[in-house]
Amino acid sequence: MIFSFSLGAWHPVVRPEPEPARRTMPRAAWCAGFIALATAAPLAPGRTQGPRPNARDAASASVDSARSGTALDSLVALAIAVNPTIHAAAARAKAAQLRVGPAGARPDPMLMVGIQNFPIAKPGFSDFMTMKMVGISQTFPYPGKLSLETRAAVDEVTASRAAIDAARLDVTARVKDAYYDLAFADRALDIVRRNQTVLTNLAAVSQAQYSTGSGTQADVLRARTETANLGDAASELAEKRRAALAQLNALLDRPTNTSVDAPSIPARIVKAAVADSASEVHFASDALGARAADSPMLPLDSLQALAVANNPMVQEHIAQIAAQRSRIEIARKAHLPDISVSLEYGQRQGFTDMVTAIISIPVPLQKGRKQDADVAASEAELAMLEAQHHEMVNALDADIATELSDVERARTELALAKRAILPQAQATLASAMASYQVGRLDFAAVMDAQAGVFNTETAYYHSLTEFAKHLAELERTVGTGVLR
């Protein structure tokens, strides 16, 4: 039996059975064991091909998936609690909050103590104009100035708090990214180990065939070469795992080599990525390149609207614009007089004491050169911030469209793999083994078919990992959940 495929569905097509085996029975027995071993990998965490799992297996898979989600949530919570970047953002917000009170306070009063009209030719206090003086003065800003200063400071607090939210979202996305890389490395290493077992058996069989004269030395060398290549792949994956673990532990503010137990992509992410079975996979149309149907993602326009309302960087920028508008109002009031009032008491020796009261008002003789220029400069800064905000929203819309496209591309890759590529690769291997068993196909074709299964399975989990990572990045950009 071999499998044929069309975009609508793949189905078995029965063809005449091959001729009776012309080779020894040990090869037939080995072929059967090889096929079982080579096609034993599940399609996704907690999912298997072939017969449905029993209740105990299903319950175990469900528990494992739930634990993976709980483990990731725990790591995210830990990162938010201990990450230095978030602590730095929180400290900046605290500093901004502490500046609100001083911004709306009047200037401190001035205390004056001194001697007035002290004679130089005949020092002393006998002159009627000489007196000992003590006084106090206070400046009162023009009404409305202090309230505007307070409003600008409050807007800065709003901006700094939005920066905390941005830091939290960024750290969360980076934790998920490193965790998913770790999960992929573990899963890919499992596939490598299983294929190493298969290729080791292949090498042994090819050696036995060569020893009896029914095989070639090229078959032996090919099997050994493919086995060595798997060692190289395993080494690369192991190093990538170490790098991902180091990145994750850095975000968690703990030693580089701290272990993470059994990382895996949570079940809710897997469910959003691909259907449980090939029969549940559908496409938006029969056209080549059509997306997978039944997307769990919100529409693009909804995501863009959510981002404008929830993205903390956008909210931070809006608060900065509001603060700048307050600064413009402050600059427009700068020419209005701040009134200074002083009261002085003078004590004269042998004469009547004196009291002096003074009111001081600044005269803005250079208003055009100073205050008006400050207003124009503040308005120019506001125009800059508004243009930057417009650019930010445009860039945000483009980023969301790109990230949504990345998510949908990964979904489509998984749908194609689930519905066609994986079954076809496994069917190709089974057909190659059946043909090899009766002498209709050479050893190299079997090796190629096995490599196809290995590469297809690895690509499947890579697409699943990319889906999870792009989803996390999209959530960071939007600032909230993105699934329906």
Q: Give the pLDDT confidence score for residue 130 in this predicted structure.
A: 87
- What average pLDDT score do residues 103-120 get? 92
Place of tokens 């909050």: 97
Average predicted confidence (pLDDT) for the chain: 86
Return the pLDDT at 182. 97
Supply the pLDDT for residue 213: 84
Most confident segment among 8-12, 57-61, 77-81, 194-198: 77-81
Quick check: 17 pLDDT over 50? no
Q: Are 378 and 326 in contact (CB under 8 A)?
A: no
Work out the pLDDT band at 34, boundaries 50, 70, 90.
low
| Cross-strand partners of 135 | 112, 344
Residue 262's region, left for phi above 0, alpha for psi from -120 to 50, else beta, is left
pLDDT reported for residue 350:
83
Overall average pLDDT of the 367-396 stretch:
95
d(CA 396, CA 388): 12
User: Residue 53: its pLDDT value, please?
Assistant: 42
- pLDDT greater than 70 at residue 358: yes
Structure tokens at 275: 């259907």
**Of the given ranges (28-32, 337-341, 466-470), which has the lowest mean pLDDT?**
28-32
Distance CA 346, CA 309 (A): 64
- What would the pLDDT profile of 287-300 be if each residue is shown by its tens digit? 999 999 999 999 99
110 phi/psi in degrees, rounded to 5: -110, 130
Does 362 score more than 60 pLDDT?
yes
- For residue 358, is it left (φ>0), alpha (ψ between -120 and 50) or beta? beta
Residue 64 has pLDDT above 80, yes or no: no
Helix, coil or strand: residue 479: coil
Residue 183 pLDDT: 96
For residue 54, what pLDDT band results from cuts at 50, 70 and 90?
A: very low
pLDDT band at residue 40 under the 50/70/90 scheme: low
The predicted pLDDT at position 117 comes to: 87
A 10 A CB-CB count for 36 gives: 9
What does the pLDDT read at residue 123? Answer: 85
Q: pLDDT digits over 125-142, tens only?
A: 888 888 999 999 999 999
Task: Give the pLDDT confidence score for residue 6 in this predicted structure.
Answer: 35
Is the dihedral angle over the CA atoms 96, 100, 101, 104 positive or is it negative? positive
Asked if residue 431 has pLDDT above 80, the reply is yes
Question: Is the confidence at residue 283, as pLDDT, over 60?
Answer: yes
Percent share of the chain, pLDDT over 90? 67
Report the range of poorest mean pLDDT among 55-59, 175-179, 187-191: 55-59
Stretch among 147-156, 205-214, 229-238 having the lowest mean pLDDT: 205-214
Q: Is 399 exposed, middle or buried (0-12, 13-18, 19+ CB in 10 A)?
A: middle
Report the first-to-last Cα separation within the chain, whole angstroms: 41
What average pLDDT score do residues 371-382 get? 96
Q: Indicate the pTM of the whole model.
A: 0.81
Q: Name residue 134's beta-bridge partners.
A: 113, 345
Residue 104 has pLDDT above 80, yes or no: yes
Over residues 223-237, mean pLDDT: 90
Reply yes or no on whether the pLDDT at 227 is more than 90.
no
pLDDT of amino acid 12: 37
Examine the pLDDT at 3 and tell me if it is beyond 50: no
Q: What CA–CA distances, in Å, run from 468 to 235, 251, 459?
A: 24, 19, 14
Closest CA to 89 of 164, 180, 200: 164
The secondary structure of 396-430 as a DSSP string is HHHHHHHHHHHHHHHHHHHHHIIIIIHHHHHHHHH
- pLDDT at residue 2 tops 60: no
- pLDDT at 202 (0 to 100): 83
Whether residue 424 is predicted with pLDDT greater than 90 in this model: the reply is yes
CA 61 to chain centre: 27
CA-to-CA dists, residue 43 to 8, 209, 359, 418, 459, angstroms: 20, 33, 86, 8, 11
Report CA-CA distances (Å) from 323 to 133, 151, 157, 330, 370: 44, 7, 10, 11, 21
Instruction: Specify whether domain 2-478 bears CATH 3.30.70.1730.
Output: no
- The per-residue pLDDT for 36 is 53
> What distance in Å separates the CA atoms of residue 241 and residue 188, rounded to the nearest whole number?
10
Higher pLDDT residue, 215 or 153? 153
Query: Which of 53-57, 345-349, 468-472, 473-477 has the lowest average pLDDT?
Result: 53-57
Q: Cβ(192)–Cβ(233) under 8 Å?
A: yes
The pair of structure tokens assigned to 267 is: 């079940």
Q: Above 80 in pLDDT, residue 58? A: no
Residue found by looking up tokens 């991902």 in the block: 244
Lowest-confidence segment of 234-243, 371-380, 431-440 by average pLDDT: 431-440
